Amino acid sequence: MLKNVITVSINLIIFAAASVSNSNASIHSVLPTIDDNIRHDLAYYESKQDRCLLAFAQSEFDVAYAICTPLANLGFKDAQLITGLLYAYGEGVDKDLNRAKIWLKEALKNGREDAAHALSQFELN
């Protein structure tokens, strides 16, 4: 019985090796790393953040929410402030003071001092 299990296992390994060698997969001489594959273009994100601020200033709250929230998740402090304000005022999103507090505290932690004013204005301290 054990001999049969070993024989079947060896046959499966040989079959798998043969299948891989006949595939069209490319072979890398050097394995790619994450740094080789991902290039962060800071100018792109900064222009998105500028658009986020402009949308908020022009009362385009749905647009501001759509642009600012992904940036806030990436750690952009201005977008975190705007996202917190959108939640606090209920503009472009349902009013949620708990989420407002989270985003405003993140903005403050990342250096947006005016987030402290917003936290006290909405009594979220």
Residue-range domain boundaries for the chain: 43-121
Query: What torsion do the CA atoms of 59, 123, 87, 71 make, to the nearest 10 degrees?
Result: 90
- What pLDDT score does 72 carry? 95
- Report phi then psi at 35, rounded to 5: -60, -30
pTM value is: 0.68
Q: Write the DSSP symbol of residue 94.
A: -
- What pLDDT score does 44 carry? 85
- What pLDDT score does 92 carry? 93
Chunked into runs of 10 residues, the chain (125 residues) has average pLDDT values of 56 53 53 54 86 95 95 94 96 95 95 94 89
Helices and strands (DSSP H and E) totals, the chain: 7, 0
Which tokens is 111 given? 């250096």
- What pLDDT score does 101 carry? 95
How far apart (Å, rounded) are the C-alpha atoms in residues 94 and 22?
Answer: 56
